[in-house]
Amino acid sequence: MAESQECQIVSSLTRPNASVDTAVQQLLDLTSLAASSTTISRSDALCTHLDNTWRSLIDEIVANTAPPQQTALVKFVRTLQQQKIIDPATGDQLRFDQDYNKTLWTEVPNFGINVADYWNFGKTRFSIFFQVLR
């Protein structure tokens, strides 16, 4: 299975002199692409994007990066949470979906549930859980 673009962006933050601002902008660009998807529903595209982002961060990067090397990752999440994506159709902040009603990225949708799943299921079961969902 190919590494997702989200994983490539997040993993770049483990390199020396990584640019958090560049990584955030790259992820925002992917968010815009997901929000304007014409191949699947906006909600499904955003869900996949969020899951790829958080799974990459939690399961693949943080789990394999020593805590002293995680400073850029923490800054990335904090900077991402400050970003407001405007929905061109409504002029309001883009929402993950109408039922969940969480805004991107200020409410960091799906982050908590992904952390909880990792915590409760562990790395192996967490990875299997998401493979089953796909």
Domain ranges of the chain: 5-133
CA 101 to chain centre: 17
Q: Which residue has the tokens 């799906």?
A: 110
Structure tokens at 73: 């990752």
Q: What local confidence, expressed as pLDDT, does residue 133 receive?
A: 40
Residue 125 has pLDDT above 70, yes or no: no
Confidence category of residue 124, pLDDT binned at 50, 70, 90: low
Confidence category of residue 39, pLDDT binned at 50, 70, 90: very high
User: pLDDT for 67-123, tens place per residue?
Assistant: 888 899 999 999 999 999 998 888 999 987 767 788 999 998 888 777 777 777 766
Alpha-carbon distance of 1 to 113, in angstroms, equals 24
Alpha-carbon distance of 72 to 68, in angstroms, equals 10
Average pLDDT over residues 9-29: 95
Q: What are phi and psi of 103, to 5 degrees?
A: -85, 150
